[in-house]
């Protein structure tokens, strides 16, 4: 069991620290590869939607029906699913626009004119952006960890999908922080730290959820995880993919993500 927990933590850490990759891209490339990001974000959404509705939701329902009976179990599954959506929607609601990861930045923005580095208001805004994205990523850590504990192959797929969509979030942190400070190291550090909220989410799941884990708790958590991932895909990943490039590329990526996830699940049957 210890190896499974360490593996789950490792996956969550990998997914979270992908924000650092976005930060590096912001500093060492001159232009954003919008076509690649559009396809990648669509792919990530496809993986997350497919695995949520085909695998995670079904496992949650099986667990709850087994523990509570058919009627009550099905209602509990649907309730958990929409509770997950409500949770992540509330987090989005209370993150102000300037700190919301949906407000995309590009590498080119690094060269845009900005206020002087001594501007305290800019520094405050940049730091808050990193904090806000950290809060937004916290439930994703719970999702990755709990999925990896239940099914390591599933955890790998979710970790990769979340890592892909954390890359542009890393850019979104780095650009305003760099505006505020003129310091690339500080921008990278805050981008890196914002990704640590995902392993912190995993730690919270381990400390506060696992001691009480039974069929009902597992089913509700998994249903909520499915809801969280579907909301992130529809509210964040697909709109972001369309903003970066043509919508067709995002949809092609979405279908490819679903297909890869479908084949992966079939291979592990």
SS (H, E, C) 158-204: HHHHHHHHHHHHHHHHHHHHHHHHCCHHHHHHHHHHHHCHHHHHHHH
Q: Output the DSSP codes for 193-236.
A: HHHTHHHHHHHHIIIIIGGG--HHHHHHHHHHHHHHHHHHIIII
**Is 137 labelled as part of a ligand binding site?**
yes
Are 129 and 176 within 8 A, CB to CB? yes
Record the tokens describing residue 103, joined without a space. Answer: 């407000």
Dihedral sign (CA 26, 198, 226, 155):
positive
38-47, 118-127, 206-215: least confident range: 118-127
Question: Nearest Cα to 223, choosing from 169, 157, 153, 146?
Answer: 146
User: What pLDDT was estimated at residue 114?
Assistant: 47
Give 93 or 123, the one with higher predicted confidence: 93
Residue 94 has pLDDT above 50, yes or no: yes
Give 50 or 140, the one with higher predicted confidence: 50
Q: pLDDT per residue over 183-226, tens digit each?
A: 788 888 888 888 889 999 999 989 988 888 788 988 998 899 89
User: What pLDDT was estimated at residue 118?
Assistant: 44
Buried b or exposed e, range 213-251, using 16+ CB within 10 angstroms: eeebbbbbbbbbbbbbbbbbbeebbbbbbbbbbeeebbb
Q: Can you tell me the mean pLDDT for 99-109? A: 50
Give 159 or 187, the one with higher predicted confidence: 159
**Is 140 labelled as part of a ligand binding site?**
yes
Q: Can you tell me the mean pLDDT for 38-47? A: 84
Q: What percent of the chain has pLDDT over 70?
A: 80
Q: What is the DSSP letter of 134?
A: H
Q: Which residues contact 211 (CB under 8 A, 6 or more apart)?
A: none
| CA–CA distance, 150 with 232 (Å, rounded to integer) | 21
**For the chain, how many residues are written?**
269
pLDDT-based confidence at residue 117 (cuts at 50, 70, 90): very low
**Is 248 labelled as part of a ligand binding site?**
no
Q: What is the DSSP letter of 54?
A: I
| CA–CA distance, 231 with 214 (Å, rounded to integer) | 26
**Is 103 labelled as part of a ligand binding site?**
no
**Is 4 labelled as part of a ligand binding site?**
no
Give 268 or 227, the one with higher predicted confidence: 227
Q: What is the mean pLDDT of the chain?
A: 80
User: What pLDDT was estimated at residue 232?
Assistant: 85
Dihedral sign (CA 39, 45, 48, 53):
negative
User: What pLDDT was estimated at residue 37?
Assistant: 74
């Amino acid at each position: 069991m210890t190896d499974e927990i360490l593996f789950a933590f490792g996956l969550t850490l990998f997914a979270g620290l992908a924000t650092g990759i976005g930060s590096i891209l912001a500093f060492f490339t001159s232009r954003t590869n919008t076509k690649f990001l559009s396809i990648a974000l669509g792919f990530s959404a496809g993986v997350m939607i497919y695995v949520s509705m085909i695998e995670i939701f079904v496992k949650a329902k099986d667990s709850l029906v087994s523990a509570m009976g058919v009627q009550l179990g099905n209602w509990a599954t649907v309730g958990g699913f929409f509770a997950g959506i409500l949770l992540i929607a509330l987090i989005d609601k209370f993150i102000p626009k300037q700190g919301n990861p949906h407000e995309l930045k590009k590498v080119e923005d690094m060269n845009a004119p900005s206020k002087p580095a001594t501007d305290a208001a800019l520094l405050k805004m940049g730091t808050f952006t990193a904090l806000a994205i950290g809060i937004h990523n916290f439930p994703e850590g719970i999702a990755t960890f709990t999925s990896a504990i239940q099914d390591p192959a599933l955890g790998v797929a979710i970790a990769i999908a979340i890592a892909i969509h954390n890359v542009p979030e890393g850019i979104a942190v780095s650009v305003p922080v760099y505006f505020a400070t003129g310091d690339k190291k500080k921008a990278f550090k805050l981008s890196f730290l914002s990704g640590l909220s995902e392993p912190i989410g995993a730690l919270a799941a381990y400390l506060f959820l696992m001691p009480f884990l039974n069929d009902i708790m597992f089913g509700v958590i998994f249903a909520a995880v499915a809801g969280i991932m579907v909301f992130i895909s529809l509210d964040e990943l697909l709109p972001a993919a369309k903003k970066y490039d043509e919508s067709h590329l995002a949809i092609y990526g979405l279908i490819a993500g679903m297909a890869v996830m479908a084949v992966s699940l079939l291979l592990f049957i």
